[in-house]
């Protein structure tokens, strides 16, 4: 049986569960049994030798974890006399539990995270345990038959089926392998020479690892380039079941699973002092982080830039940029070779949040520290759980000389192939040729119709506040006089009452006060007069404060985003004054960091840079199409009524 139809075959074992279990529970049985059979197949060739050595070591003080893995030719072992094929039709559950309990600790934890013992009990009560066990015993999952890459695809297929049956979101647990291949190619390509050296050892980290597919594909790719190079994987994952699959996968590949952690990355970094050569991640899109809000905010306030979230915090509705800050915190110093990062994000981190917001401040910190190398816009419909546009961010703290101070944007939205059969929302894929084309665009670092080079400051702007004067027409009537008398700070109300019987109005404040024979008002009194007796009127005179300065009309207040490479006064004179000659810049609104007028913001409006004008169709062509449709409808109606 080949890999292409093996996953559906495994899933079809779920037919045995029909009636006894809910469809949403099938995966919780199928997945751990699949992992168990995979581990069993890996250990099968050395099974007898391990048992013989164990028998000889009984009663001795030798640490089995130091000896038996060498005999098993794996990073784990099992000393039980049972296998799936030999657990027997009686005492099946007890024998299976013995079998699982006698795995080495690093493998046994996989089944603990699956809570497998609970499902064994349920299968036993349904009289299905032995039958299911025998079905899995017939499947050959040895790595010589099913490679690690193919096994990863099988797990992903099963998780997707499991998620569909439970109405869950499968896409948050793994990334399509074509997208993974693109990201790893872009991250590793610039280090190709270093990775092809002798005895190369590098570390790679995924902060939202899912089933570990990103790490496995990275390891495979580096091995393709240099079989003597070694990538050591590190990871953290929130979901216990996908974490268990990731651990099992790395066990089979011979890695130390102590580097794979279970827990929430944002609230509890379980690799706090580690730094890595490469970081790869596809964190969940648009997921709220309110459940870890206190921990994140506390770290931000208490540690500042000494922690992970010093630059700022995004709004609680989307934690994507928190994962990005976390990865940047894991970068190695340049003196130690630096780090390269590849992360898949939705479009919102590019532009959400105006100047001064948490999102903008994060982008500002990244760009002002020259950490962003490139962003690649991917086609829609590449992912299993969403059809939205996605972007690959490539970041580095050791850019090449030509890339310093620069950012490359690549529009790869048109570079895709159609899938013969959709998988959830995934209707498109990236072929090997298309991945190579995108990598060449990145490596070429040139301005083309699909590749643009920018200075880091090109994405920055200053948000200046444009004020216009307040113009009020003043009148006194019974209603606003009563309001004035009840207003805090009202002065000389009887003087204004003298104007009550007069129907005239006043277009300037001094004239109004003179007519009321009011010589002077305090600030509170003037404020009360303006709010009670004044009505907006564009023909009226400008209202000024007690110091003679014009008051601003808050209803006419606007903001202008001035590119960082332009002088704000020159911009204001050119773009604003010709339209509103009485406007001025509020020079009290200044940036907290540089103290200059205007609040600095950063955004990357991808579509603006690649927009191509498409002229509308000619009216004659549209009219001809409409007439053709009308004729077709008329013909169909004639057929019905004839």
Q: What is the DSSP string of 351-379?
A: H-S-TTSHHHHHHHHHHHTT-EEEEEEPP
Q: Is 505 exposed, middle or buried (0-12, 13-18, 19+ CB in 10 A)?
A: middle
Whether residue 538 is contained in a domain is answered as: yes
Q: What is the residue-wise DSSP string for 266-289?
A: TT--SSTT--BSEEEE-PPTT---
Residue where one domain finishes, among candidates 517, 532, 551? 551
Q: What's the pLDDT at 175?
A: 81
Q: Are residues 280 and 344 in the same domain?
A: yes
Task: Compute mean pLDDT per 10 residues along the chain, 642 residues long, and list them.
Answer: 68 85 87 93 94 88 90 93 92 94 93 93 94 93 86 80 60 75 92 76 93 88 86 93 89 88 95 95 89 95 95 94 97 94 94 94 97 96 82 95 96 91 84 95 94 96 96 91 86 86 83 87 86 92 86 94 95 95 94 94 91 83 91 89 74
Helix (H, G, I), strand (E, B) or coil at 117: helix
> Which residues have a Cβ under 8 Å from the Cβ of 222 and sit 6 or more positions away?
188, 195, 202, 229, 230, 231
Rounded to an integer, what distance in angstroms lies between the CA atom of residue 91 and that of residue 52?
A: 25
Q: What's the pLDDT at 578?
A: 95
Rounded to an integer, what distance in angstroms lies between the CA atom of residue 599 and that of residue 590?
A: 6
Helix (H, G, I), strand (E, B) or coil at 460: strand
Residue where one domain finishes, among candidates 441, 462, 483? 462
Rounded to an integer, what distance in angstroms lies between the CA atom of residue 540 and that of residue 241?
A: 71
Whether residue 560 is contained in a domain is answered as: no
Query: Rounded to the nearest 5 degrees, what angle is found at the Cα of 354, between the Cα atoms of 295 and 206?
Result: 45
Q: Are residues 161 and 176 in the same domain?
A: no
Comparing CA positions, the residue from 403, 405, 422, 346 lying closest to residue 377 is 346
Q: What's the pLDDT at 642?
A: 67
Q: Are residues 37 and 117 in the same domain?
A: yes
Pairing, β 278-281 against β 201-206: parallel
Comparing CA positions, the residue from 43, 246, 29 lying closest to residue 133 is 29
Rounded to an integer, what distance in angstroms lies between the CA atom of residue 365 and that of residue 310?
A: 9
Q: What's the pLDDT at 1?
A: 47
Any idea what the CATH number is for the domain that residue 348 is in?
3.40.50.150
CB 69 within 8 A of CB 79: no
Q: Are residues 442 and 485 in the same domain?
A: no
Whether residue 558 is contained in a domain is answered as: no
Rounded to an integer, what distance in angstroms lies between the CA atom of residue 615 and that of residue 144?
A: 58
Helix (H, G, I), strand (E, B) or coil at 536: strand
Q: Are residues 458 and 475 in the same domain?
A: no
Helix (H, G, I), strand (E, B) or coil at 225: helix
Tell me which residue range forms the domain holding 180: 170-462
CB 464 within 8 A of CB 572: yes
Rounded to an integer, what distance in angstroms lies between the CA atom of residue 392 and that of residue 296?
A: 25
Whether residue 615 is contained in a domain is answered as: no
- Backbone phi and psi for residue 635, each to the nearest 5 degrees, phi listed first: -65, -40
Q: Is 143 exposed, middle or buried (0-12, 13-18, 19+ CB in 10 A)?
A: middle
Whether residue 625 is contained in a domain is answered as: no
Whether residue 399 is contained in a domain is answered as: yes
Rounded to an integer, what distance in angstroms lies between the CA atom of residue 282 and that of residue 174?
A: 8
Whether residue 561 is contained in a domain is answered as: no
Distance of CA 634 to the CA centre of its chain: 51
Rounded to an integer, what distance in angstroms lies between the CA atom of residue 289 and that of residue 291?
A: 5
Outline where 102-239 has alpha helix (H).
105-113, 116-125, 129-137, 148-165, 177-189, 192-195, 213-225
Q: How far apart are the first and last CA of the chain?
A: 59
Whether residue 570 is contained in a domain is answered as: no
Comparing CA positions, the residue from 440, 419, 420 lying closest to residue 430 is 419
Q: Are residues 182 and 321 in the same domain?
A: yes
Residue where one domain finishes, among candidates 462, 497, 526? 462
In sequence order, what are the beta bridge partners of 276? 331
Distance of CA 313 to the CA centre of its chain: 14
Prediction pTM value: 0.85
Q: Are residues 457 and 348 in the same domain?
A: yes
Q: Are residues 404 and 288 in the same domain?
A: yes
Q: Are residues 153 and 176 in the same domain?
A: no
Q: Are residues 182 and 158 in the same domain?
A: no
For the chain, the domain total comes to 3
Q: What is the residue-wise DSSP string for 564-577?
A: TTS-HHHHHHHHTT
Q: Are residues 297 and 414 in the same domain?
A: yes
Q: What is the residue-wise DSSP string for 285-301?
A: TT---GGGHHHHHHHHH
Helix (H, G, I), strand (E, B) or coil at 2: coil
Q: Are residues 294 and 358 in the same domain?
A: yes
């Amino acid at each position: 049986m080949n890999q292409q139809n093996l996953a559906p075959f495994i899933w079809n074992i779920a037919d045995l569960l029909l009636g006894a279990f809910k469809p949403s529970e099938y995966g919780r049985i199928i997945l751990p049994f699949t992992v168990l059979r995979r581990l069993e197949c890996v250990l099968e060739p050395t099974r007898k030798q391990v048992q013989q050595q164990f028998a000889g070591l009984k009663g001795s003080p030798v640490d089995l974890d130091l000896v038996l893995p060498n005999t098993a030719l794996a990073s784990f072992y099992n000393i039980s006399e049972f296998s799936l094929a030999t657990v027997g039709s009686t005492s099946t559950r007890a024998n299976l539990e013995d079998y699982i309990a006698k795995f080495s600790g690093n493998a046994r934890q996989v089944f603990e995270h699956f809570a497998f013992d609970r499902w064994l009990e349920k299968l036993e009560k349904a009289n299905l345990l032995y039958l299911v066990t025998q079905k899995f015993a017939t499947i050959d999952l040895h790595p010589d038959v099913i490679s690690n890459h193919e096994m990863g695809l099988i797990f992903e297929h099963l998780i997707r089926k499991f998620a569909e049956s439970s109405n869950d979101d499968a896409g948050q647990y793994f990334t399509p392998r074509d997208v993974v291949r693109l990201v790893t190619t872009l991250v590793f390509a610039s280090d190709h020479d270093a990775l092809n050296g002798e005895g190369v050892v590098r570390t790679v980290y995924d902060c939202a690892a899912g089933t570990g597919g990103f790490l496995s594909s990275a390891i495979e790719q580096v091995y393709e380039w240099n079989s003597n190079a070694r990538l050591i994987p590190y990871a953290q994952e929130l979901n216990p079941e996908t974490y268990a699959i990731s651990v099992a996968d790395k066990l089979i590949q011979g890695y130390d699973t102590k580097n794979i952690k279970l827990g929430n990355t944002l609230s509890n970094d379980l690799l706090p002092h580690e730094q890595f050569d490469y970081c790869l991640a596809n964190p969940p899109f648009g997921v709220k982080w309110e459940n870890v809000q206190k921990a994140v905010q506390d770290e931000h306030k208490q540690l500042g830039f000494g922690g992970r979230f010093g630059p700022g915090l995004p709004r609680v509705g989307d934690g994507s940029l928190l994962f990005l800050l976390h990865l940047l915190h894991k970068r190695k110093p340049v003196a130690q070779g630096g780090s390269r990062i590849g992360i898949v994000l939705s479009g919102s981190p590019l532009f959400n949040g105006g100047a001064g917001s948490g999102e903008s401040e994060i982008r500002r910190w990244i760009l002002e520290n020259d950490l962003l190398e490139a962003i690649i816009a991917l086609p829609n419909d590449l992912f299993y759980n969403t059809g939205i546009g996605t972007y690959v961010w490539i970041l580095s703290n050791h850019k090449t000389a030509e890339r310093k101070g620069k950012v490359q944007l690549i529009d790869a939205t048109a570079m895709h192939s159609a899938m013969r059969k959709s998988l959830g929302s995934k209707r498109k894929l990236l072929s090997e040729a298309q991945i190579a084309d995108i990598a060449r665009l990145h490596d070429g670092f040139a301005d083309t119709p699909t590749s643009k080079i920018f200075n880091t400051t090109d994405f920055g702007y200053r948000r200046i506040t444009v004020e216009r004067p307040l113009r009020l027409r003043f009148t006194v009537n019974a209603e606003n006089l009563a309001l004035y008398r009840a207003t805090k700070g009202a002065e000389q109300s009887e003087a204004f009452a003298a104007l009550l019987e007069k129907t005239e109005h006043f277009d300037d404040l001094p004239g109004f006060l003179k007519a009321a024979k009011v010589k002077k008002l305090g600030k509170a009194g003037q404020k009360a007069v303006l709010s009670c007796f004044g009505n907006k009127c564009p023909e009226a005179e400008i209202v000024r404060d007690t110091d003679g300065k014009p008051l601003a009309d808050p209803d006419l207040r606007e903001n202008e985003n001035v590119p960082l490479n332009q002088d704000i006064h020159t911009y204001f004179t050119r773009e604003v004054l010709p339209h509103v000659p009485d406007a001025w810049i509020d020079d009290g609104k200044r940036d907290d960091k540089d103290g200059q007028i205007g609040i600095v913001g950063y955004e990357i409006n991808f579509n603006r840079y690649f927009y191509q004008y498409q002229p509308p169709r000619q009216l004659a062509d549209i009219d001809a199409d409409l007439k053709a449709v009308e004729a077709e409808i008329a013909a169909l109606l004639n057929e019905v009524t004839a």
